[in-house]
Amino acid sequence: MRVKNRTFWYAALLSFTIDQASKFLTVQFFDLGQTLPLLPGVFHLTYVINKGAAFGLFPNSGGLLKWISLGVSLGLVVLALRANLNRWERVGYGCILGGALGNGVDRFVRAEVVDLLDFRLIHFPVFNLADVAINIGIVCLLVAAFREGRRSDQAQKTKR
């Protein structure tokens, strides 16, 4: 049996698994608020919880966000089952699905999201690997759109 958009499913599974493993290890080995400086003053692992969206946006809106993440996840699964995606789209949408599922599982199971990546040099809010996967996915989709735009421009030039 041939699986449609196989890379999509791999990207989603890898993103989800790495995110959930990092959160599991954080909860097991850190106390809430505990920090481990990997590069002191620059990058720490810090265990915090977030009841809002990525990077601390929309605090205490987790109830709505869990349903949004579920809707996005279902929409992406339907897209992968029906559409013929190019390589960049498969990786991009797969990473977004893995990230949405990673944070969505936290919201449904814990009613909060575990965050741990703490870039102190730029005073950035603490975030997690699901957030990273979503952002990687967005970059991949931008690359896909840029490449498609260039192909479209070249096709228009050859028609003239």
Residue 107: domain span? 6-159
- Smallest Cα–Cα separation from 136: which of 31, 11, 25, 26? 11
In a domain, residue 21? The reply is yes
Count Cβ atoms below 10 Å from residue 48 Cβ, excluding itself.
Answer: 21
pLDDT of 149 reads 73
Q: In sequence order, what are the residues at sequence separation of 6 or more whose Cβ sits closer than 8 angstroms to the Cβ of residue 86?
A: 144, 147, 148
In a domain, residue 140? The reply is yes
In a domain, residue 142? The reply is yes
CB 47 within 8 A of CB 114: yes
Rounded Cα–Cα distance for residues 69 and 123 (Å)? 27
Query: Which of 19, 106, 118, 131 is the catalytic position?
Result: 131
118 included as an active-site residue = no
pLDDT, tens digit (0-9, with 9 covering 90-100), for 28-53 = 999 999 999 999 999 999 999 998 77
pLDDT of 137 reads 98
Q: Cα(first)–Cα(last) distance of the chain, in Å?
A: 44
- Smallest Cα–Cα separation from 11: which of 108, 141, 146, 114? 141
pLDDT of 154 reads 63
In a domain, residue 1? The reply is no
pLDDT of 62 reads 56
Q: Which residue has the tokens 């080995």?
A: 29
Structural tokens at position 85: 């995606």
In a domain, residue 74? The reply is yes
Indicate the number of domains in the chain.
Answer: 1
Query: Which of 19, 106, 115, 118 is the catalytic position?
Result: 115
